[in-house]
Structure 1
Amino acid sequence: MDRALELRLTGSIFDIPEPAWDACACPEATTGRALNPFTRWRFLAALEASGSVGEGTGWAPHHATLYAGDDLIAVAPIYLKSHSQGEYVFDHGWADAFERAGGRYYPKLQGAVPFTPVTGRRLLAKPGYEAEARHGLLAGLAQIADQSGLSSVHLTFCTEAEAVAADGWLHRIGQQYHWLNQGYRSYDDFLASLSSRKRKTLRKERERAQGFGGEIRHLTGDQIQPAHWDAFWAFYQDTGSRKWGRPYLTRAFFDHLHEMRDDVLLVLAERDGAPIAGALNLIGREALFGRYWGCVEDHAHLHFELCYHQAIDWAIAQRLKRVEAGAQGEHKLARGYLPVPTYSAHWIGHPGLRQAVADYLDKERAAITEDIAALAGYGPFRKDGD
């Protein structure tokens, strides 16, 4: 490419036409589902239109657009952050140390999908422009942060390829638990791949969970009615108040999510015709992404049933390659979800802070890599002799 690249930041996703954004974010969606529904224009627009991000939230949109001449060749979801909440890649310790030393860590630039620990491309380029776009976006974001006096730029839950391409940035890994479809024809087929003891345990767990006194339903597309979001809002508030102190998403966000209900799977437990618990998933071309769970009644193992077992059931039926069940949670291991690495890249301007973080990340990467290898050995799958 012999044309100069120009990086611009804009204060709203609504400043970028939806077709132009999606031509970079999910060109494959023209022939079906997007690989990652979270970086589509309409999902990011729902966050802004609902007030879940924007003024007063600490997530100020500063989305990046990269032009080659007059052609938009890449975009990136970027936010100016005044705190480190809702990111799932924790840098509170870095911020505290820097500010104790007299530095100013906030604001910072965050390349992420808010409140969404799902791996996917963060440097969203039109096909054929990937290498140029990665270089232009990474160099441009670092230059903007440096010239503006910002402490740092962070790409979180990016792809491994993007992290590797971030030359001169600090690389970090984390871990999640994903279920991988090995060509299973049914949940029983999946169970047959487990050790006999684990197989019996999960059968008993599912039997007890399904005995809560009602029925479990899978709803997607037009099966989802506006009243279902009223029920799920109650579930979300219950979980949010216990986990985060206050929910990140507004009630209006779920009204906007209704407009993209073809990408949504609601798994609801109903008793006497009323929903008492539910799990919200988004559907990608290859994966089911578990996002939120909640309940208004407590029943043994119902959380595991709705979030993990039912997700596996549905993924097998739809021939999806995997289920990504969200952040953290070693309890997922016994249910067939194995540890996998996640990736992020960090540009830090201050030399002293950069060196301190680099030293920390060297140790953290070694520990997490060792942890992933060890945990994989504790999975429920059959071993020789089982």
Structure 2
Amino acid sequence: MASSEITLEAVSSVSQIPAEDWDACANPASAPDTLDGLDTLASPSDYCSNLISHYNPFISHAFFSSLEGSGSACARTGWGPRHLLARLEGTIAGIVPCYLKSHSQGEYVFDRGWADAYERAGGRYYPKLQASVPFTPAAGPRLLIRGGADHERIATALASGLVALCGVSKASSVHVTFAREAEWKLLAAHGFLQRTDQQFHWHNQGYGSFEDFLATLNSRHRKAIRRERREALAEGITIHPLTGSDITEDAWNAFFAFYMETGSRKWGRPYLTRAFFSLIGESMAKDVLLVMARRNGRWIAGAINFIGSDTLFGRNWGAIEHHPFLHFEVCYYQAIDFAIRRGLKTVEAGAQGEHKIARGYLPQTTYSAHYIADPDLRRAISDYLRHERAYVAEAARELTHAGPFRKTADEPF
């Protein structure tokens, strides 16, 4: 008996997809984790092995609804939704969150050099398709597949669908960024180029307290962290971790002021609107950790984090007063403290920042896949990426070796 046909379509808003269908694909009760050792497309048995229950707040319907409903990610800001759906017997079995973009801002995987070179050669790089979570450099599934579905078959259809959508949209390329390694390998089998980069993540080794973590560091770094935590709270500063109903509109107002002040200096134009923070406060406050600093009766700094089933994802930071080491305390040390208390395995501290190594965050490879329609541009980028992957791998080895952890068990405490 012939299997049912998979049909593909693209929609122009997350609101066109029922939340229950989206979340059944994005965060199913059981989802494939990693496919270690696979160099090409996985077999069904491999692709469906090692099933885990894993919640990622960034790929939830609520998060995308907040981005689009707030006007943060929309056609006006250069993020025109083109979410790709795979239907099987009328049911949505797979989704790729995707946007038609007129620029390369807010992505954290940088391709502006590719765009400049292509346009100097007479090509048109924009529009392009971006399969990602806007403004969010956090790894996670990009081919969202309903639990219980034939993962290999749906993933293959979605990969082919992205290439077809590129042609229909008259886009130069498709960029699947911060994907899982298994998806990176699968997409390579469908003509996508492979790119790597690195972030810095903290890993919980079953610590019972922050002091247990410090005990694993060498003496120099352990003393430095204790000093930084002590000096960060000078000037009468207090730290307030807020979650759920403790996050009031007053706290959101203060945090948005921090975000705008810092974002304006870093990016020129911050990406997220004030409405975005109210929307996530309404729909997913239980998934948010807002670490706020207070001095003389007013909020002065803060960092927003999102809580997954085993990972704390650090995102934006901002401040209206600047004090030594306050950034490290609010963003890194409070995140570690929270992860230890909650029993979370990992803290992902966002993009870039080799200074995180001294605070116990080690290099972690990130993966992106790129379909380039023009064969000449594709050849040039393919050669560039081959050298870049080798550099990223070597840099990770060197940085890991330079980490702050004690090299021998008998190193003095």
Distance 1:148 1:333 in 2: 42
1:149 CA displacement: 2.9
The aligned runs of 1:157-196 (5 Å cut-off) are: 157-166=178-187, 167=189, 168-196=191-219
The one of 129, 148, 158 equivalent to 1:137 is 158
Q: Does 1:218 align with 2:237?
A: no
1:34 CA displacement: 5.8
1:2 CA displacement: 1.4
Amino acid at match of 2:200: Y
1:379 CA displacement: 0.6
What do the CA deviations read for 1:338-381 (whole angstroms, capped 9, x no partner)? Answer: 00000000111110000000000000000000000110001100
For structure 1, the 5+ residue unaligned runs are none
2:46 paired residue number: none
Q: The residue matched to 2:77 in structure 1 has which SS?
A: coil
Distance 2:372 2:252 in 1: 41
The aligned runs of 1:327-338 (5 Å cut-off) are: 327-338=351-362
How many residue pairs match? The answer is 385
1:146 CA displacement: 2.6
Amino acid at match of 1:244: W
Aligned-pair identity (%): 54
Amino acid at match of 1:208: E
For structure 2, the 5+ residue unaligned runs are 31-52
2:27 paired residue number: 26
1:277 paired residue number: 301
Q: Does 1:94 align with 2:108?
A: no
1:350 paired residue number: 374
1:314 paired residue number: 338
1:132 CA displacement: 1.3
2:16 paired residue number: 15
1:20 CA displacement: 0.6
1:204 CA displacement: 0.7
The one of 80, 85, 91 equivalent to 1:60 is 80
Distance 2:212 2:365 in 1: 26
Q: Is the 8 A contact 2:127 2:170 kept in 1?
A: no
Q: Is the 8 A contact 2:336 2:347 kept in 1?
A: yes
Q: Is the 8 A contact 2:84 2:161 kept in 1?
A: no
The one of 167, 172, 178 equivalent to 1:151 is 172
Q: The residue matched to 1:317 in structure 2 has which SS?
A: helix
The aligned runs of 1:98-137 (5 Å cut-off) are: 98-127=118-147, 128-137=149-158
Q: The residue matched to 1:85 in structure 2 has which SS?
A: coil
Amino acid at match of 2:113: G
Amino acid at match of 2:9: R
Which stretches of structure 1, 4 residues or longer, exceed 6 Å deviation after superposition?
Answer: none
In structure 2, do the counterparts of structure 1 residues 328 and 17 end up closer, same or farther at CA, with 3 Å as the change threshold? same
Q: The residue matched to 2:383 in structure 1 has which SS?
A: helix
Amino acid at match of 1:23: A
Distance 2:286 2:171 in 1: 39
What do the CA deviations read for 1:73-125 (whole angstroms, capped 9, x no partner)? Answer: 01111000000000000000111111111111100111000000000000000
Distance 2:356 2:55 in 1: 23
Amino acid at match of 1:95: A
Distance 2:22 2:333 in 1: 35
1:257 paired residue number: 280
Distance 1:131 1:163 in 2: 14
1:147 CA displacement: 4.2
2:42 paired residue number: none
Distance 2:169 2:270 in 1: 31
Distance 2:167 2:79 in 1: 20
Amino acid at match of 1:195: N
1:16 CA displacement: 0.5
1:214 CA displacement: 2.4
Amino acid at match of 1:6: T
The one of 252, 275, 300 equivalent to 2:324 is 300
Amino acid at match of 1:2: S
Q: The residue matched to 1:309 in structure 2 has which SS?
A: helix
TM-score by length of 1: 0.97
2:41 paired residue number: none
Q: The residue matched to 1:56 in structure 2 has which SS?
A: helix
Q: Is the 8 A contact 2:314 2:350 kept in 1?
A: yes
Distance 2:252 2:169 in 1: 41
